[in-house]
Amino acid sequence: MQCNTYTALFGAAAYALSTGDSVNGSGIVSCWSAVWLFFNARNAMKSKRILPISVAGAVASIGTAIVPTVDIPGVDVPRFYLAAARRNAPSLDTVAYHDIVTKQSITYQELEDMCRKVASGLINGLGIASGSTVAIFASNHVHYAALLFGVISTGATCCTISSAVSEGELEHQLADCGAHALFVGNAQLPMLCRVLSRGLVKIPPSRVVVIENYYQGQFTSLYKMLSTAPYLPFYISNEPESAATPAVIIYSSGTTGTSKGVILSHHNLIGNTTAMLTTVDYFIVHERLTESQDKAGREAFRPQRSLAVLPFAHITGLLSTVLNSIALGRTQYILGKYSIEAFLQAVQDYQIETALIVPSIAAQVVNHKHLNSYNLSSFRQLGCGAAPLSSGLQARVSSALQATVGHGYGMTEAGGGVCMMGSYKFAAGSVGFLFSGVEAKIVDVHSKQELGYGQEGELCLRTSTIMMGYINSAEETSKAIDSDGFLHTGDIAYISESNHVYIADRIKEVIKYKGLQVAPTEIEGILGDHPLVSDAAVIGIEDQERGTELPKAYVVLRNTGAGKDQAQAQRVTEELTQWVADRVANHKRLRGGIEIVEAIARSQTGKILRREMRAKHNARHAAKI
């Protein structure tokens, strides 16, 4: 199971359909009716606190108030999100996506039109029908949303494949999902050709569509595939059908084992957006607004210009910068090739108001030598997800940018985000409160007995947005979701009596020193608070003589030249070793040492590749023996 720490558009970055309307199964309803429900339900419902705990966003007390559960519209994904965009975008001429490098743009009207042309081309030209699977293997692109909606509009399932996969992973994912057709970016074409030449993946050339404008070759170009011929669009009109119909397949990153395809239904995606927006709306009402303030007051808090950095193929990027962004009518500026300088320059040039990033980018921002030379005053909110964000780094980013920094937690298998932490009842180190409609319990890792407030154990979740299952793997699905419908996340966590959720670490990543647990993220957070450290990772290395694991740290220094001189490097490592020792219990000390490196191995979504780091350490150690 691949877990993703995920921010679901915290704070005002996701004011959802709060400035417009949303579609439900019976027609159009104002999101302000949901706000009205908040004030009425608050008095009608009572908070529940029991030990052992089973906390639900719908019934659990958040301070003295309650986030109610709301109905999830029983419709299909394209209809829900495009209808929301019509009501929330300033106009249909508003740019939905703009590529900073290529200067390509697509407006909301063009997005709708292209969605229909893609669907028509798939049905009338390529023979794609309901029940088919169509993959997208491309980096972030202005046409990504149109391709996604076009595929789903045929009744097919869209498999989003990361542009960062290896050749073997691409072959596995295409074969595993049984793709009948494929959209591919020009940069990804050489790898695809090598995979297709081996014969395991059998997609005919006529069904391989190259996204770039002027492609000529054995495959089909996107613009030749687009069609204006009439077709019968796929349509969902009730919640049971929405819950039973797959919309997307997203593969876990594979950093904890072989990647598995997570099947998410129309209901899963729409439900996660609805739950997140309900929760955010509640925070806005109770933190910043009074009951008498109107829509104009709310719009003052809503950012419009966002910088797209995270990959659209992953759950975090798909929900935040594709689906939720469209629901908000926002403009996403795509930063094709990332560098910290390009990131800061884009914020200045395009007056970016919000962005969703990973902690490693946050660290690069605050540690940049020339940060003050950029005009970043347009920033209003920053979301940080996909990996743990230390409270120290969160505070430093907020101070440096003079912006609200939100954090959250979720996972692909849960359908996206399940809790979030903005400025409302802020608690340092917490990933926030559960979303509306989410239940959580903490169980002992070994006995599986439910635990109480403040006790660490495995976090288990139950919500209507939990995945349909893993593709072609009923056994793995049954391991992940228990008989009571709780998803076992594989994360160690605890819930405070104030109902804040705290994530300690992954169960499989916890280091065991003489039987005592050491959470790598705790040590990484402490190292990250040291003024010399830019980034850090902690792994467990085997000490065969003592028969135990030892915590070892890898650090990136802000001054990269500081560690090149051997004597100076020794002084730095000694200082950092003592820094940690002064702040942790004895068994958590860095007995495996500290190594200064130029960069920490991370996945495309910012997760530390601990397995890869351990393998390199073991290989080097074996070579010395």
DSSP labels, 296-347: HHHHTT---EEEE-S-TTSHHHIIIIIIHHHHHTPEEEE--S--HHHHHHHH
Across 342-446, the runs of DSSP E, i.e. the strands, are: 354-357, 381-384, 404-411, 416-421, 433-434, 439-443
What does the alpha-carbon distance between residue 507 and residue 519 come to, in Å, rounded to a whole number?
9
pLDDT digit string, tens, across residues 238-273: 999 999 999 999 998 543 456 899 999 999 999 999
Residues ≥6 apart with Cβ < 8 Å to 569: 562, 563, 596
Q: At 586, is the secondary structure helix, strand, or coil?
A: helix
Contact 379, 397 (CB under 8 A): no
Residue 281 sits at φ, ψ, to 5 deg, of -60, -40
Is the pLDDT at 76 greater than 80? The verdict is: yes
* pLDDT reported for residue 24: 33
Q: Please report the pLDDT score of residue 71 as a whole number.
A: 84
Does the pLDDT value for residue 99 go beyond 90?
Answer: yes
Q: What is the pLDDT of residue 288?
A: 55
Q: What's the chain's Rg over C-alpha atoms?
A: 24
Res 290 pLDDT > 50:
no
Sequence-distant (6+) residues with CB within 8 A of 448 are none
Pairing of strands 157-161, 21-24: unpaired
Q: What percent of the chain has pLDDT over 90?
A: 55
Of 386, 390, 340, 348, give the one whose Cα is nearest residue 367.
340
Half-sphere exposure of 322 (CA within 13 A, CB side): 26
pLDDT of residue 423: 65
| pLDDT at position 31 | 32
> Quick one: pLDDT at residue 234?
93
Concatenating the DSSP letter of every residue in 451-513 gives: --TT--EEEEEE-TTS-SEETT-HHHHHHHB-TTS-EEEEEEEEE-TT--EEEEEEGGG-EEE
CB 556 within 8 A of CB 598: yes
Cis peptide before 204, with omega less than 30 degrees from 0?
A: no
Which of 126-135, 355-364, 456-465, 539-548 is predicted least confidently? Answer: 539-548
pLDDT(20) > 70:
no
Q: What would the mean pLDDT of 309-316 be, rounded to a whole number?
A: 92
d(CA 1, CA 470): 10
Buried b (16+ CB within 10 A) or exposed e, 405-418: bbbbbbbbbbbbbb
Alpha-carbon distance 423 to 50, whole Å?
Answer: 27
Q: How far apart are the first and last CA of the chain?
A: 35
Determine the average pLDDT of the residues in 487-511: 87
Chain centroid to CA 153: 24
The confidence band for 515, taking pLDDT boundaries of 50, 70 and 90, is low
Residue 8's pLDDT band, with cuts at 50, 70 and 90, is very low
Average pLDDT over all residues of the chain: 83
Give the mean model confidence (pLDDT) for residues 481-495.
93
Place of tokens 């794609």: 128
Per-residue confidence band for 547, with pLDDT thresholds at 50, 70 and 90: confident
Phi then psi for residue 508, to 5 deg, are: -75, -15
Q: What share of the chain is helix, strand, coil (3-state, %, to 5)?
A: 35, 25, 40
The Cα–Cα gap between 559 and 549 comes to 30
- Pick 388 or 607 by higher pLDDT: 607
**What is the pLDDT at residue 55?**
55
pLDDT at residue 607, as a whole number:
82
Bridge partners of 41? none
Residues near 378 by beta carbon (within 8 Å), at least 6 away in sequence? 305, 347, 348, 351, 352, 353
Helix axes 189-197, 167-177, angle to 10 degrees: 70
Percent of the residues in the chain that have a pLDDT greater than 70, as a whole number: 82
Give the three-class secondary structure for 34.
Answer: helix
Q: pTM (2 decimals)? A: 0.79
Q: According to the model, what pLDDT value does residue 494 have?
A: 93
Pairing label, strands 21-24, 27-30: antiparallel
Sign of the alpha-carbon torsion through 581, 584, 590, 591: positive
- Alpha-carbon span 584 to 16, nearest angstrom: 41
Note the pLDDT of residue 625.
56
Instruction: Please check whether residue 534 is in contact with residue 363, taking contact to mean a CB–CB distance below 8 angstroms.
Output: yes
Distances in Å between the alpha carbon of 204 and those of 52, 170, 194? 56, 16, 14
Distance of alpha carbon 435 from the chain centroid: 15
Q: Read off the amino acid at residue 423.
A: S
| pLDDT score at 317 | 92
Strand partners of residue 592: none
Q: How far is Cα 52 from Cα 453, in angstroms, rounded to an integer?
A: 8
Q: Which of 88-97, 418-427, 435-444 has the lowest mean pLDDT?
A: 418-427
Per-residue pLDDT, 212 = 83
Confidence of residue 65 (pLDDT cuts 50, 70, 90): very low
Taking the C-alpha atoms of residue 557 and residue 45, their distance in angstroms, rounded to an integer, is 51
Phi (first) and psi of residue 415, to 5 degrees: 85, 10
- 567, burial (CB in 10 Å: exposed 0-12, middle 13-18, buried 19+): exposed
CA distance 272 to 283: 17
Q: In the structure, what pLDDT confidence band is assigned to residue 622 with cuts at 50, 70 and 90?
A: confident
Q: Domains of the chain, with CATH numbers?
A: 3-75+266-303+342-506 (3.40.50.12780), 87-235 (3.40.50.980), 510-624 (3.30.300.30)
Is-contact 198 171, C-beta < 8 A?
A: yes
Q: What is the pLDDT of residues 23-35, one digit of tens each?
A: 333 222 223 233 2
DSSP collapsed to 3 states, 521-558: HHHHHHHHCCCCEEEEEEEEEEECCCCEEEEEEEEEEC
Tokens describing residue 129: 């029908």
| Across 153-167, 183-197, 230-244, 375-389, least confident range | 375-389
Query: Which residue did the predictor score with more confidence, 255 or 451?
Result: 451
What is the spatial distance between Cα 351 and Cα 505, in angstroms, rounded to a whole number?
36
Whether the pLDDT of residue 298 is over 70: the answer is: no
At 510 the pLDDT is: 78
* Count of alpha carbons within 13 angstroms of residue 540, beta-carbon side: 22
What's the full length of the chain, in residues?
Answer: 625
Inform me whether the pLDDT recorded for 480 exceeds 70: yes
Helix axes 520-528, 391-401, angle to 10 degrees: 40
